[in-house]
Amino acid sequence: MTAQPEKRWLLPLFAAVILIYFVSESFLRQATVARINPAAVAMDEILAGLPDPVRKKISFRITLMQLQTNLKNAGSPGSRASALYALAYFHETEKTGEHMPYYRELLDSYRNEREAYPVYIRFLFEPEDRNEGITEKVFHEYQKTLPPEERFYAWTSAYNKLRSIEDEVSPNADRIARFLEPLSEIPDPPFLEYAPLFAELARFARLSGRIETAEKATVMSDKCSYKRSISEFLMQQEEDRQFREEMENRKAGS
Amino acid sequence: MWTVTGLTFRKFKEPAFFLMLAFAIMTGYAVSEMDPVSDQVAGNAILSHLLGHQPGSEPVLTSTFAALLISMLLSCFTGAVEIPREISSGQIQHWLSKPISRTSYLLGKYFGILLICATFFCATELSVILSHYIHSGTCYSIPLIARQFLMMTMFIPYTAVILMFSCCAGDIAAIIFTLLYILFSLLFNLVPILIAMLPQGFAGDVEESIFILYYLFPNNLYFLLDFPLFGIVSGMLVIYSFSIAAIFLMAADYQFRHMDLSKRG
């Protein structure tokens, strides 16, 4: 009989103690966090203090939120294309399985933008059922629309991808030469870095019996050796941009 | 209950305890001139913000932190074996033949072990204060000394933890479980605070899973914070300590009341 009354007050007491524990802990935690100036502590420092599995999950969320915000804030078609690709690539590398909708949206709405060239590289040389319509021919047509520096990056990336899927010791010279052949249609390749690309075209063209293409590529390679490098070009562009900005500021000031 | 407390405390007369007390006093002397904890963690951006010195409050000295560790370690070894040894020797039957409930006996043991912790801590702290006076010629201020002794609130929950494990397991197992528990509690201390520092929505579902584990362990960082001696934070800290102690004591009481206390081989 005495056990029953005792048991009756024990559970409410236990519940009350648990509640007091949660309330006091919450108060102390808020008081502790309030002492910290968020601006003085970098996100990296916060993440470094967390256990590895927790850090990876939170880093994933942070990166995803940043990419989604970039997409939301992207105004121009070009910036939307870049943001979509970044989001798709992130999902693909993190193996979430959610990358294809972003790639498809990019190809459906922004395939002609200069910023879309990475998605062409992504699907280039893929089997027919997985290439989303991006064939070598489609790439060749697209690269004509690109400005000089993006054109160079697109060709380099595409060539590197092709070499990675070809056999290292005995690659298919005809396939490589056929793919690189439109390089010769560039009227005046502007960068020094085109030289090795043309040299490779020359080599594979010679191996596959396309002598005329090989000779033309050799001449182009020599011509490119006297051009400025792409980094000089970009630096010049940046200097021009800063100069234009300064002129505009002076005009606005006066 | 207080008789049990007194008899538990009287174990201090044993030579081993005097040796441990001497060790604690010597350690207090050795660490007496160390900087406050807030200065020790200055190199770590987050800890320096958390444990940094606040105007109007007194810092926790590193020597106090050392005194705390030693006291907790010594009390862990002594407290964890109390009840299991009395059960195995049959002495507990002698106690329970008296008009004393199991709960009173348990509480008596709790206060006895708490007193032992406090004695070790006070002895070490007095050694620190005296050593500082001898080395520098000045004495610590009363508020500073009071802040160091406020650290004894840390013993309130941990003594209950020791007692609970000693009711559930044998003496050696109770020591191991208690030490592991303290180690895990140290691992989890910073994590929820770091998650609370993240912008809203960043933590996601990680928050729930972490907090389930976090609530199982007391957060030692709260005891090291600089705060005014008489304020809401110090009041909440005392409530926090007692609530944890109450939870573990209730668990220990439940276990103890349903235990077979017959003499074990």
Q: Which comes out higher in pLDDT, residue B261 or A225?
A: A225
- Flag whether B210 is in a domain: yes
Which domain does A235 fall in, by range? 173-239
| pLDDT tens per residue, range A98-146 | 999 999 999 999 999 999 999 999 999 999 899 899 999 999 999 999 9
- Flag whether A157 is in a domain: no
Smallest Cβ–Cβ distance between A36 and the set B50, B232, B243 belongs to: B50
Number of structural domains (chain A) is 2
Alpha carbon distance B52, B23 (integer Å) = 30
Number of structural domains (chain B) is 1
- Flag whether A44 is in a domain: no
- pLDDT of B263 strictly over 60: no
Mean pLDDT of B74-96: 77
Distance from CA of A14 to the nearest CA of B (A): 7
- Flag whether A160 is in a domain: no
Test B204 with A13 for CB contact under 8 angstroms.
no
> What does the pLDDT read at residue B265?
44
Mean pLDDT of A192-206: 91
A24-28, A118-122, B93-97: which has the minimum mean pLDDT?
B93-97
Instruction: Give the list of residues 6+ apart from residue A167 with CB closer than 8 angstroms, or none.
Output: none
| pLDDT tens per residue, range A58-108 | 888 888 988 999 999 998 999 999 999 999 999 999 999 999 999 999 999
Shared domain check, A85 and A139: yes
Test A41 with B197 for CB contact under 8 angstroms.
yes
Shared domain check, A81 and A136: yes
- Flag whether B38 is in a domain: yes
- Flag whether A87 is in a domain: yes
- Flag whether B265 is in a domain: no
- pLDDT of B223 strictly over 90: no
- Flag whether B143 is in a domain: yes
Distance from CA of B177 to the nearest CA of A (A): 22
Shared domain check, A218 and A183: yes
- Flag whether A210 is in a domain: yes
- pLDDT of A20 strictly over 90: yes
Backbone angles phi, psi at A228, to 5 degrees: -80, 160
- Flag whether B262 is in a domain: no
Shared domain check, A186 and A127: no
Question: Of B161, B240, B248, which to mutate for an interface test with A (greatest number of A Cβ within 10 Å)?
Answer: B240
- pLDDT of A5 strictly over 60: no
Instruction: Report residue A2's pLDDT band, with 50, 70 and 90 as the boundaries.
Output: very low
Instruction: Report residue B93's pLDDT band, with 50, 70 and 90 as the boundaries.
Output: confident
- Flag whether B247 is in a domain: yes
Q: What separation, in Å, do the N-terminal and C-terminal C-alpha atoms of chain B show?
A: 27
- Flag whether A125 is in a domain: yes
Shared domain check, A138 and A199: no
Q: B residues 192-221 near A, CB within 8 Å?
A: 192-198, 201-204, 206, 210, 215, 219, 221
Which residues of B fall within a CB distance of 8 Å from A28?
Answer: 219, 222, 233, 236-237, 240
A220 and A198 Cβ atoms separated by less than 8 Å: yes
Question: Of B164, B197, B215, which to mutate for an interface test with A (greatest number of A Cβ within 10 Å)?
Answer: B197
Q: Which helix or strand (DSSP H or E) is residue A178 part of?
A: helix A173-180
- Flag whether B57 is in a domain: yes
| pLDDT tens per residue, range B126-178 | 888 888 888 788 788 888 888 888 888 888 888 888 888 888 877 788 888 88
Mean pLDDT of A216-226: 90
Distance from CA of B87 to the nearest CA of A (A): 24
> What does the pLDDT read at residue B92?
73
3-state secondary structure string across chain B = CHHHHHHHHHHHHCHHHHHHHHHHHHHHHHCCCCCEHHHHCCCCHHHHHHHCCCCCCCCCEHHHHHHHHHHHHHHHHHHHHHHHHHHHHCHHHHHHCCCCCHHHHHHHHHHHHHHHHHHHHHHHHHHHHHHHHHHHCCCCCHHHHHHHHHHHHHHHHHHHHHHHHHHHCCHHHHHHHHHHHHHHHHHHCCHHHHHHHCCCCCCCCHHHHHHHHHCCCCCCHHHHCCCCCCCHHHHHHHHHHHHHHHHHHHHHHHHHHCCCCCCCC
Which domain does B209 fall in, by range? 2-257
Residue B52 forms contact with A (CB below 8 Å):
yes
How many Cβ atoms are within 10 Å of A77's Cβ, its own excluded? 15
Taking alpha carbons only, the member of A54, A17, A20, A39 closest to residue B190 is A54
Which residues of A fall within a CB distance of 8 Å from B227?
Answer: 31
Alpha carbon distance B184, B168 (integer Å) = 19
